[in-house]
Amino acid sequence: GGTIITERHVLTASHCKPERNQALSVVLAEHKVSSKTESRTTIIDVTQFITHEEYNRRGNTENDVALLVLASKIPFGKTIGPACFPKANLNIVGQKVRVVGWGALYSNGPQPDILQKVDLDVQATSACSRVYRGITEGQLCTYTPKKDACQGDSGGPVIWRDPGTNRYTIVGIVSYGDECAKPGAPGVNTKVSAYRDWILQKIQQTAPGSATCQNK
């Protein structure tokens, strides 16, 4: 999965990059995979898959962030638009966030035909560290009993509705977990606010001036 953040960029996870160089495209405004009548669906080729320079160093799970650079501009409109960036010091522990994707309906289960969503609670880093080793402040943990992201949701958005602006803000990138909705096992996501500077730098280097949530 991925999240539109500018008219030329999609945010995703480094671990989603294919092992071999292969042609990639993004599908935008998709809702029902089997439908042939979704005329608003847009497909755009990917020209660059930029992974974080420190991802997978020393065998850890942090820095799981990547940026897709698109061949042409995304046509923003009623059904397609960018998510907003979080503030650098945003703290939403204890609040609800939403994960969206076409991941499996349960561990090793079938993929859905229709886009799914699930609301989860943000956990403190300390609670997550009791389950997984190596959790850092660059990660965002979520846990709600019997609910979770699952296989196929990786790279997709963890979004939070900012009560101040009423806009959806991208606060996390789905990274990993222990099975799906396993009791006591949170989902681990990349915390977008921790990589804000890296993301903005790559945007400036590849397509400066691209329209974002703030200036579209």
Is 119 noted as a catalytic residue in this protein?
Answer: no
d(CA 150, CA 90): 25
Q: Where are the alpha helices (DSSP H) in 67-187?
A: 125-129
Catalytic residue among 9, 64, 175, 193: 64
Is 15 noted as a catalytic residue in this protein?
Answer: yes
DSSP state letter for 186: -
Catalytic residue among 9, 14, 15, 148: 15
Which whole-number Å values give the CA distances from 53 to 14, 31, 35, 47, 202, in the listed order?
A: 10, 33, 39, 18, 12
d(CA 187, CA 177): 5
Catalytic residue among 14, 154, 193, 210: 154
Task: Judge contact between 100 and 155, C-beta under 8 A.
Answer: no
- Tell me which residues are annotated as active site: 15, 64, 154
